[in-house]
Amino acid sequence: EAQLVESGGGLIQPGGSLRLSCAASGFKVSSNYMTWVRQAPGEGLEWVSIIYSAGDTYYADAVKGRFTISRDNSVNTVYLQMTSLKVEDTALYYCAKGYTFAYDSFDTWGQGTLVTVSS
Amino acid sequence: QSALTQPRSVSGSPGQSVTISCTGTSSDIGRFNYVSWYQQHPGKAPKLMIYDVTKRPSGVPDRFSGSKSGNEASLTISGLQADDEADYFCSSYAGSYTRVFGTGTKVTVL
């Protein structure tokens, strides 16, 4: 069974940096497209970034130039390096696995890790 | 990229049907047949309910169905059950390897 466990969230001051981790089990991150989606408190879902099996990466305009998605196949983990954090980046960050039978859907989600950007 | 527009809430009695709309543009929903729907119970992670506009992953009841017309997609829940009470989000591929989510709809079972 595919599972994802996020970690690395916390309280950080504006302008600071944080690295989120998403440890996968039951499948290989290198063989799937993997994404980060965030949800501000009481708000909807917002797509953040994606990494495809070939290694190409893409970002939402709101985080482009500040966030970097990567993966380490040896530990089956996907990362989100976040820099120059802003108050509006405060959210629960979910990692999700691409659904094998779909072009752009996500069938396995972690429980999320909370990032709070505040002075 | 602007969020897709969904009604804030819909409600229905057990056994009834409800339909949630998801309005986008000719750059996302109108252009691609890659609309997904997710169910999210309070404090839980989203769950994929519909992909590629109309398809259901294994394990999702056939009470859930999806459709699309022009720039608008819809999710219909038939035979409404208490456990269907949750937030529902649509999403659409928007080109250039980006995607956009909907604003979310709270479904209440009366």
CA distance A102 to B14: 31
Q: What whole-number percentage of chain A has pLDDT above 90?
A: 97
- Can you name the residues that pair with B58 across neighbouring β-strands? none
On whether the CB atoms of residues B82 and B94 are closer than 8 A, the answer is no
Of A1, A91, A105, A100, residue with least CA distance to A38: A91
Rounded average pLDDT over B48-59? 97
At residue A44, what are phi and psi to the nearest 5 degrees?
A: -90, -175
Helical residues (DSSP H) of chain B, grouped into ranges: none
- B52: which chain A residues are within 8 Å (Cβ-Cβ)? 102-103, 105
Q: Which of B32, B91, B103 to mutate to test the interface with A (most CBs of A within 10 A)?
A: B91
Q: Which of A105, A107, A109 to mutate to test the interface with B (most CBs of B within 10 A)?
A: A105
- Asked if the Cβ–Cβ distance from B3 to A58 is below 8 Å, we say no
Look at residue A19 and tell me whether its pLDDT is greater than 90.
Answer: yes
Q: In residues, how long is chain B?
A: 110
- Asked if the Cβ–Cβ distance from A46 to B101 is below 8 Å, we say yes
What SS3 state is found at A88?
helix
pLDDT bin (cut points 50, 70, 90) of residue B1 is confident
